[in-house]
Amino acid sequence: MRVLLLGGTGSIGGAVLEKLQRNNHEVVALARSEHSASRMTQMGARTVMGDIKHPSQWIALCDEVEAVVHAAASWDCDMGVADRRVVQSVLPRLSKSNQLKTFIYTGGCWLYGQTGDIVATETSPVQELESFSWTLPSINDVLCAENVRGMVIHPAMVYEHDGGVFEHIYKDARELGYVRVVESESVRWPLVHRIDLADLYVLMLKHGRQGDVYNAAANEGVPVGVLTRAIAAQFGITQPPVVMDVIDACREIGDYAEGYALDQQMSSAKAKSQLGWRPQYEDPLAVISE
Ligand SMILES: NC(=O)c1ccc[n+]([C@@H]2O[C@H](COP(=O)([O-])OP(=O)(O)OC[C@H]3O[C@@H](n4cnc5c(N)ncnc54)[C@H](OP(=O)(O)O)[C@@H]3O)[C@@H](O)[C@H]2O)c1
């Protein structure tokens, strides 16, 4: 399949790019800088210069591909506006085709809000964070799009050895000499390794149906205290994690720090039973200690 990938240098998109290549899909990747273009070219993608904030620069690429995977995020104050622009430009363009084209939209586990002891499934009620409320109309547009195989994936917190959602914990350990958690050590994070997550995107491209939603979590919920203590131990830090107030965390890293404070559990039973998704990384502590 020929796939247009938005966000192909990102934590998620980079892994998706690699998996698409390995599965013999042809990737056209959007790049907003020469640096990003060269990284993705080295990974075997055909790169096209363009910014997600200006779809007119690249929207014609939708006519050349069979699928669009959207894993880009600008993380600035215009993030929601840019994202809505992508969805509102790509869907009508794909729907004009004579063939049924595919659009995979990346949502996220934070949409389920604080689930506590309830394990969120794809049919759980949505309690989105205010800073991500713009995703709801986009998700609705994707799932209800006519003449497009629109699908949504909700990744858990995405990690790799010392990156993804672990990156700021490593940074604290390195730079502060101690680690921190937001709200409490007992806050649970659903987790997925970026390589496993990329497998699910590829499975959705192959087998997913119009209107499908899939959660991607290899671990339903791991207490963040367990994760931070394991990372601290890598640095010989014995001091327990310092507990940060959510308001202070938001002040330091942005509103999305509220997500770090959510005590969540999320299930991927649907992806496993319907698409045969089999995450290889089910022990984040083993990955941390690699
Ligand atoms: N990471 C997680 O734990 C997680 C969990 C659930 C959901 N999500 C969702 O997944 C999506 C991607 O997250 P991520 O963590 O993979 O993000 P990321 O690592 O920050 O990657 C963002 C990607 O978007 C690209 N990008 C940013 N602004 C752009 C622009 N104006 N034009 C073109 N490309 C642009 C970046 O390219 P450059 O090379 O130019 O920077 C990069 O490839 C987000 O919507 C996020 O909410 C993430």
Q: How close is the Cα of 203 to the center of ligand 1, in Å?
A: 21
Domain ranges of the chain: 2-160+191-217+266-280
Q: How close is the Cα of 98 to the center of ligand 1, in Å?
A: 31
Q: What is the residue type of 69?
A: V
- Tell which one of 5, 51, 106, 258 to mutate to probe ligand 1, the residue whose CB is within 8 A of the most ligand atoms: 106
Question: Is this model's pTM higher than 0.95 or not?
Answer: yes
Pocket of ligand 1 (CB under 6 A): 7-13, 30, 32-33, 36, 51-53, 71-75, 106, 108-109, 155, 157-158, 164-165
pLDDT by residue, tens only, the chain of 290 residues: 999 999 999 999 999 999 999 999 999 999 999 999 999 999 999 999 999 999 999 999 999 999 999 999 999 989 999 999 999 999 999 999 999 999 999 999 999 999 999 999 999 999 989 889 999 999 999 999 999 999 999 999 999 988 999 999 999 999 999 999 999 999 999 999 999 999 999 999 999 999 999 999 999 999 999 999 999 999 999 999 999 999 999 999 888 899 999 999 999 999 999 999 999 999 999 999 98
Nearby residues of 251 by Cβ (< 8 Å), 6 or more positions away = none
Show the tokens assigned to 288.
Answer: 């941390």
Contact 43, 19 (CB under 8 A): no
Query: From atom 8 of ligand 1, which residue's Cα is the shortest distance away?
Result: 108
Radius of gyration of the chain (CA): 19
Q: What is the residue type of 75?
A: W
Greatest pairwise CA separation for the chain in angstroms: 62
Fold of 2-160+191-217+266-280: Rossmann fold (3.40.50)
Q: How close is the Cα of 234 to the center of ligand 1, in Å?
A: 28
Please state, in angstroms and rounded to a whole number, the distance separating the CA atoms of residues 136 and 154. Answer: 12
Q: How close is the Cα of 81 to the center of ligand 1, in Å?
A: 14
SS3 content of the chain, % helix, strand, coil (to 5): 40, 20, 40
